[in-house]
Chain A
Amino acid sequence: MTTSDTSTETLTAWDRVQLARNVQRPHTLDMVRGLCEHFVELHGDRRFGDDAAIVGGMATLQGRTVMIVGHQKGRNARENVQRHFGMPRPEGYRKALRLFRHAEKFGFPLLCFIDTPGADPERESEERGQANAIAECIMAMTNLRVPIIATVIGEGGSGGALAIGVADRMLMMENAIYSVISPEGCASILWRDAAKAPDAARAMRITAADVHELGIADAVIAEPAGGAHTDIAAAVESAALVIREHLEQLTGDEIATTLACRYQKYRAIGRFHERQQALLGVQAGEPLPFVV
């Protein structure tokens, strides 16, 4: 873990959720401006439309062309309506998919920035194949022949986040969260009470520190005291340092090595017991060893 700021160490999981959702945090386009040069934004999925909840395009970083794809939230009500609160529709994911393929074709490393409450759940999105669009993105990323770095900069909301989040390196900003379902959703389903969201946030272990401890985030990026929104430039610079370092490592490897490591990285996620172990040599009440 990168240095952690002591002033925010006592925050609860629910406090982190509020910070992760703060509209003044750096969003994808802030990251791009601070991290890269010569950004050219690309639009449209070539099938249906252009979704402003996902932005993408090419830029240079350390003298190398990279492809950027990220969720984009707004800073105010008007922007958020335009950006649909960072909740992509299928055309957003199909734009992402097109840019993944573009990156692969030209050998541009892929940098993804995750910041979404989740994929858009409305009827129109179902109609245009939201599940299929997300599944296609995940599938494409599993063996995309360029290095991929995904950074959760705010909210990592379930499948809508993972759709652009299968990567060789998974980084998280210190106050970012990554969750299988929103704390409110979890609380209302398990306990029929959305007001218990703070309990759900804690139980699901969604903070950057937790996700890092679970072995899913590779590194946590320190934020300025008080959170990234208090000093966007400093937050972006902090992220840039870590991203550059990992990009440097990844571009030094053969792509075959990168793909083999990517397979192993995801292959190893999951914790369970093999039943023989449960029967042999472990006393009742003793915690079972994990098979990872």
Chain B
Amino acid sequence: MKEFFRRNKKSFAPVQREGESQIPDNLWAKCPACRELIYQKQLTDSLKVCPKCSHHLRLVPHEWLGLLDHGSFVEHDADLWPADPLGFVSPKEAYADKLRLTQEKLGQADAVISGLGTIDGRRLALAICDFSFIGGSMGSVYGEKMTRAAERAAELELPLLTINGSGGARMQEGVISLMQMAKISMALTRLAAVQQPHIALLVDPCFGGVLASYPSVADIIIAEPGANIGFAGSRVVSQTIGGKMPAKHQTAEYMFEHGFVDMVTPRADLRATLSRLLTLYGAQTNAGLPRLDARLIEQEVRAGG
């Protein structure tokens, strides 16, 4: 059991060429959109974009770290662990059991990974949702990690990047999960007060209480091509993967046409786009500053930035 609680540092290192992708560990993978067989290496090289139909496959947080400079990521708040605040009972599966099983399967505590890193040497704070963890749903741990990420970014005067792929609020934490929408928004006022940008990336799928709060009021909103994005029907969509297709009006392109996102950016261009944005906002570079090491950062925070 102790082994399970131990944080596996290796699994959080930025991985560009390899990693525990959902694709079976063999030479070929099948694109879920066009059913084409793809050479595995080709898929991982492109951050999981299908070379045939350009479908953007879902990434788990450690795969997203491939956007950052290699080795620059420092994780924070990995110690936060979900509780069962309501004692949520269910005829099918109690929440506590669902949590335990998902944790064992995925080897992580909850649906967000957060920390600090650099892109082309420019520093940023980031928080990444994991849709594979109970639909990336927003409960107390999600809310607290996002909040701390925003507060830390404000404290250190860094831009904040959030990568949002979530079915919405976590029903099993009831109204407490709903209130995380307000809690994260609160923390973002601190970021605004120090004139640091919040850049939100909307990835497939982004729905419900998550979309209807902090990402939709970000300073910059970037969506991934083909991502399903919408207010209503999130969980219905997530429950029917492989079944009924989500509505046409709930896509990144539709959101773009109606003026709710700044850009729809293919994954291949994402790093360059983020790098340019960080430059435009004058984000701090590593030059003359101590390495982004967890302990140093904590000292900086304690010393008041």
Q: A residues bordering B, Cβ < 8 Å? A: 119, 121-123, 125-132, 134-136, 138-139, 141-143, 156, 158-159, 162-163, 166, 178-181, 185-186, 189-191, 196, 199, 202-206, 211, 214, 216, 262-263, 266-267, 269-276, 278-279, 288, 290
Q: Main SS of the interface on chain A? A: helix
Q: B residues bordering A, Cβ < 8 Å? A: 2, 5, 78-83, 85-86, 88-92, 109, 140-141, 143-144, 147, 169-171, 173-183, 185-189, 208-209, 211-217, 230-233, 235-236, 239, 247, 249-250, 258-260
11 other contacts beyond A158-B178, A162-B182, with CB at 8 A cut-off?
Answer: A129-B258, A131-B216, A162-B179, A166-B182, A189-B236, A190-B92, A214-B174, A216-B179, A271-B173, A276-B79, A279-B5
A129→B82 CA distance, assembly (Å): 32
A227→B104 CA distance, assembly (Å): 47
User: How many A-B contacts are there with CB distance less than 8 Å?
Assistant: 195
A275→B186 CA distance, assembly (Å): 25
A214→B83 CA distance, assembly (Å): 14
Distance to closest chain A CB from B94 (angstroms): 10
A132 and B217 contacting across the interface, CB-CB below 8 Å: yes
B249 and A123 contacting across the interface, CB-CB below 8 Å: yes
A189 and B81 contacting across the interface, CB-CB below 8 Å: no
A191 and B182 contacting across the interface, CB-CB below 8 Å: no
Q: Main SS of the interface on chain B? A: helix
B86 and A205 contacting across the interface, CB-CB below 8 Å: yes
Are A263 and B258 also in contact (CB < 8 A) when A126-B230, A159-B209, A180-B178 are?
A: no
A127→B91 CA distance, assembly (Å): 37
Are A271 and B212 also in contact (CB < 8 A) when A138-B185, A142-B185 are?
A: no
A190→B239 CA distance, assembly (Å): 9
B258 and A138 contacting across the interface, CB-CB below 8 Å: no
Q: Which residue of A lies closest to B7 (CB)?
A: A275
Chain B residues whose CB sits within 8 angstroms of the CB of A278 once the complex forms: 5, 81
A274 and B79 contacting across the interface, CB-CB below 8 Å: yes
A271 and B176 contacting across the interface, CB-CB below 8 Å: yes
A206→B171 CA distance, assembly (Å): 11
A130 and B176 contacting across the interface, CB-CB below 8 Å: no
A138 and B82 contacting across the interface, CB-CB below 8 Å: no
Chain A residues whose CB sits within 8 angstroms of the CB of B91 once the complex forms: 191, 196, 199
Q: Which residue of B lies closest to A190 (CB)?
A: B90
A275 and B80 contacting across the interface, CB-CB below 8 Å: yes
A127 and B147 contacting across the interface, CB-CB below 8 Å: no
Residue with the greatest number of chain A CB neighbours at <10 A, chosen from B86, B211, B231 = B231
